[in-house]
Amino acid sequence: MGRWVFVNAGAVVGLVVLLVSAVGLGTAIDFFDLYLQKLPIEAPGGLKFHTLPREVAGWKQLGEDRVMSKEGADELGTDNYISRTYTKTDAKEGEPVGYIDLHCAYYTGMIDTVPHVPERCMVGGGWEISGGSRQAAVPLTFVGEDGFDLISIDGEASGEGRTIYKMRSPVTRGPVRLPEGVDTLRMNVTKFRDGGSERTMLAGYFFVANGGVVSKADDVRLLAFGLTEHYAYYAKIQVSTSGVETAEELGELTGDFLDSMFPEIMRRVPDWVEVRAGRYPEGSEILAHGEHE
């Protein structure tokens, strides 16, 4: 009998410790205003990536969009994506005509999502990695009335008075905010070789997540799923081509493309300054830890 009482007493003590810990965790969550569950959030007007313009300054679509099968879209984990080829229209005489395959995919509300990246997907499709991955700068052109306008965001908008860039949309002609850190934008680049031929391809990508940018898949979770954020989203921006030889060349080609297309990409994700200020989503005021009106 004595041993039975002792065992049950130990179980009771363990239960008490668990209850106290649970209460402590709940108190900490309330005190620090933390959000362990994330709400989905979409772009204003429900704009999707497949609606990106087919032509912008210096670039136009080549061929038709590549649409995945249902099984492929299920594997990708989203139906908000685009796979499209663009070719340069302003190449100088004697220069090769550049092209890129653009792939963008949007995810929201999922805290355990693992991004699909070329190192996984292209190898699964029969390509071989040729050398390791490396980081490459994506230089953007901060010029002129039709280019970037530099503005400084106050504490209410950014929290730390950080610098935010805006670019004029080639479609609406209105200003569009770009993500924080875009002035030092980098992409992760990997070279691939076709296992059945000598053809090579460079593929690079970065992520826009909760108003910022990162170039590595491992960093997406830290950026998109911060404990103080009600909402979570991230978008993978990926480009690939056989038309360049080095990661630096791919970065420059991508920068040339984004000089025209970046504002349209950002119109298809939430404006995080508006989200943090409580002005977006409209009519969806947060009450407490993920509840809505």
Reported as a single tens digit per residue, the pLDDT across 126-141 is: 788 887 899 999 999 8
Average pLDDT of span 171-186: 92
Q: pLDDT tens digit string along 190-239?
A: 999 987 777 899 999 999 999 999 999 888 888 877 667 889 999 999 99
pTM: 0.80
Span 242-258, mean pLDDT?
Answer: 95
At residue 28 the predicted structure's pLDDT band, cuts being 50, 70 and 90, is: very low
- Partnered with residue 212 across adjacent β-strands are 180, 209
Q: Taking the CB of residue 245, how many other CB atoms lie within 10 A of it?
A: 11
Going by pLDDT thresholds of 50, 70 and 90, the confidence category of residue 2 is: very low
Mean pLDDT over the full length of the chain: 80
> What integer pLDDT is reported at residue 214 of this predicted model?
94
